Structure 1
């Protein structure tokens, strides 16, 4: 779709804008730098690569041995070493087991998503523990496609101080990653949140990023109607409806919790 793919000049401008924003949040928060959780995947690798250029970055690699791919851990370590940043690997398996044991009535077979969501929430706690100890901000690794689709865990990987690539569709993340020199073996990996063995983003969402990004870009950036999106992308009605329903149903993830307007209630008492 025209406009979704970025030109060389646009990539440079986006790159500079992201780096400037990272510097700004570190300066505004009067902190010493940033924490980036490194998964061995493209999103965290891109954020770490951009952030390392402008602020001091500390990497956390937080595997769960029961589901994490050892290759991803190695890739995360290799990236940290190539960027020259300090990092540590912390096994969160024991923490997860302790949490799971607290509610033994229902297991992962009955409540697969509930169990899976514990993992990113534990990682969020570890990120902020390290950030508070070292006086740093936490940089998130979510992209625009994930945010619109709600493909993240509330108060898990969504619990961060800033989302440097939060306005880049996954298609553009791939472009930007190649532009800034993220290793090709990381770029070519099937995107995965690592929530369970063999899990991939596209399989869980039921659609390939290539088509999904075109639909989302057409609707939210170009303001196209369904008929125009269908003509431009070939998406069928059922898929389009499913995408839009998911965007709508996950609106709560993109907003702060609602607050009851007590002042309005009090004003009404005197009207």
Structure 2
């Protein structure tokens, strides 16, 4: 495990140097993936790393797991409450579309959740620009395969060190790095809305996804669900599509 961690730390250092950046930051949610990344960037850049806590509809001090992660890692951090920015902007969008007669209430919950993720992404880049840092993402192999991330939201980052790690491997690394138990044992959730959980949202467990990614046979219904998620979200794993180059005859 120490060798794998050193491999990731070396890679982070190399990529930041190649970019001409000074260090790295990560948005800390209080979940296991961002906790592991927080530890990695602290190792890679002891004096040039930052955790950023970005609550919406909560105060920074209410993010107890996120605060515990950065404090345990001895990671420098800032907390920026985005509630007012989110409410003002999304309310303006809703008001305009309601007046136009085009507001879709059925998609508003997910649309608002994705807007939150994109607002956080924009904030991370604004903070990163201030410090001259790169933004490090937290997506793992299971999330990448299923497309379980917001396009240009939490998927909008510079580096993704966990991208080849299954959820179980992230958990093993978290235990090795002495991440707080409250974080390791927490039910995985993107906190898109009250009571939301990753597995309920995807309709499949991380255990089944990890087994599939290990090359094992899984329940046929789970496999169909997983393949449907993968196919439907292919666009998230590609650069923006463009037409073939037009050639004058």
TM-score by length of 2: 0.91
Q: Who wins on radius of gyration, i.e. which is larger?
A: 1
1:177 partner SS: helix
Q: Deviations over 1:199-244 (max 9, x none)?
A: 11011112221112102331xxxxxxxxxx44xx4x1x22211110
The yes-or-no answer on 1:35 pairing with 2:25 is yes
Taking the aligned partners of 1:85 and 1:181, their CA distance within structure 2 comes to 14
> Counterpart in 2 of 1:249?
232
2:53–2:66 contact (8 Å) kept in structure 1: yes
> Counterpart in 1 of 2:136?
139
1:108–1:115 contact (8 Å) kept in structure 2: no
For 1:1-271, list aligned pairs within 5 A. 11-55=1-45, 56-65=48-57, 73-104=63-94, 105=98, 106=103, 110-218=107-215, 229-230=216-217, 233=218, 235=219, 237-262=220-245, 265-266=246-247, 269-270=248-249
Taking the aligned partners of 2:43 and 2:194, their CA distance within structure 1 comes to 33
Taking the aligned partners of 2:15 and 2:77, their CA distance within structure 1 comes to 21
1:116 partner SS: helix
Q: Deviations over 1:57-102 (max 9, x none)?
A: 1111000126x8975x122112212222221111111111122112
Q: Which residues of structure 1 form unaligned runs of 5+?
A: 1-10, 219-228
TM-score by length of 1: 0.83
2:38–2:75 contact (8 Å) kept in structure 1: no
What is the aligned length?
A: 240
Q: Which residues of structure 2 form unaligned runs of 5+?
A: none
Taking the aligned partners of 1:211 and 1:188, their CA distance within structure 2 comes to 18
